[in-house]
Structure 1
Amino acid sequence: MLLALPLAAAWRGARAGAQVEEPLANAVRGALSAAVADVAPPKPRFDKVEDRLAYLRWLGAASERLKRRKSEALTRIEFLETVWYESRRAGLETALVLGLVQVESGFRKYAISSAGARGYMQVMPFWARLIGDGDPSRLFHMQTNLRFGCVILRHYLDIERGDLFLALGRYNGSRGRAEYPNLVFGARRAWQIPA
């Protein structure tokens, strides 16, 4: 019986809610499609040494915090570098994206929700058809999933005119209810690492 408890605690279902497919104007679909085009994130470049040192301090601290969930160092660093790049590319706070990933999938690459959402950011398969190449299996690719998730959250943030609470609710399919945004805001605090 005692052995069953750690196994049960280790497995958690993915959190994705009932996000619904909404009609997109052709211009919006085109812009979102361009935003998720598959280009590998470049290695970060910094004009100032202080900025590079701040990034490396963040990367080291975030890596240490993520070690429990991703034990392999290279995988962990690649994941954090990609989150950092994709969040900035979409104009989102990196701590917010890490908090969302924590709530949505518990940092599990192959998480699938009961609603069918996939990967780290629990992207619904219809997005692959709307703005991707139509192949929902690609949503298990780390960079693709993080890019889609960040672009979709940015889209919802724009629709909601900067209201993060409503954008998170829309992302989860629970717009107007506090539970999900509050979970993400709580998880976000754990990832706010001073520079």
Structure 2
Amino acid sequence: MKGGRERRRWWARPLRWWHTVAFATGVLCAPFGFAGNQKEESLADSVRVALSNAILDARPPKPAFTNPADQARYDAWVADMSGRLARKLPDEQHRREFLETVWYEARRAGLEPSLVLGLIQVESAYRKYAVSIVGARGYMQVMPFWTNVIGDRDRRKLFNMQTNLRYGCAILRMYIDMERGDLFLALGRYNGSRGKPAYPNAVLKAWNNWK
């Protein structure tokens, strides 16, 4: 992806690096016991600044390729995932925009897009306006306190597709780095259940289905 290395460079470092949608009456509460519940914790200033900078880039998530083979692989991935998601997201244009954004934000954060799809499956079942019993919002069930820590305090933005996915991917990447690459512990931390197997196992199983 053109410029991908530069955009992801800050994620490659360890701990050192570290618009608006109304709240509709039809918002659904996520019934899953796994819905997100990230815990607010003390972050080093450098980590907070890095996360804040990571979510500020509002450019549209349009992948760009210089290699025709990379473009072909991406097109094949979108076509495959679109067919598999058709029952969950029946509108074709929305489904393609969703997959473009997942792919873009996942790669931007140094994550596998299939992992992000698996996490979204467990967290919200692909529902844009899902709200958990603890208040986590959107596709990746981001806790609202994050908008105070690294955003502009506008919690409504968590129902915006790109904003929600960007927050979620950035937070998961941070947790992976905090756990020194241990995905099991990082997933537990994302869910607020670090050390317990149910949530990481559910995400890993869903991830495997999307590979």
Structure-1-length-normalised TM-score: 0.90
Aligned positions of 1:59-138 closer than 5 A: 59-138=78-157
Q: SS where residue 47 of structure 1 aligns?
A: coil
Query: Is the aligned partner of 1:171 residue 2:190?
Result: yes
> Following the alignment from structure 1 to structure 2, what is the Cα–Cα distance between the partners of residues 42 and 108?
19
Who is 2:11 aligned against?
Answer: none
Provide the residue aligned with 2:68 in structure 1: 49
Name 2:31's counterpart in structure 1: 13
| SS of structure 2 residue aligned to 1:44 | coil
Contiguous gaps of at least 5 residues in structure 1: 1-10
Compare 46-55 and 130-139 and name the one that shifted more.
46-55
Q: Which runs of 5+ in 2 are unaligned?
A: 1-28
1:38 to partner: Cα distance: 4.2
How many Å apart are 1:50 and its aligned residue?
A: 1.3
Cα RMSD after superposing both structures: 1.5
Q: 127, 144, 156: which is aligned to 2:163?
A: 144
Deviation for aligned residue 1:137: 1.0
Q: Is the 8 A contact 1:118 1:139 kept in 2?
A: yes
Identical aligned residues as a percent: 60
Pair 1:12–1:25, CA change in 2 (3 A): closer
Runs of 4+ in 1 over 3 A off after TM superposition: none
Question: Take 2:94 and 2:132, find their aligned partners in 1: how far apart are those partners?
Answer: 23
Residues 53/142 of structure 1: CA separation in 2 closer, same or farther (3 Å cut) = same
- Residue 79 of structure 1 contacts residue 142 of structure 1 at CA under 8 Å; is this kept in 2? yes
Give 1:12 shift: 5.4
Aligned amino acid, residue 147 of structure 2 = A
Structure 2 Cα separation of the partners of residues 155 and 82 of structure 1: 19
Deviation per CA, 1:33-77, whole angstroms, max 9, x where unpaired? Answer: 000114133422222211111110100000001101000000000
| Mapping 1:179-194, distance limit 5 Å | 179-192=198-211
Q: Distance in 2 between matches of 1:80 and 1:18?
A: 24
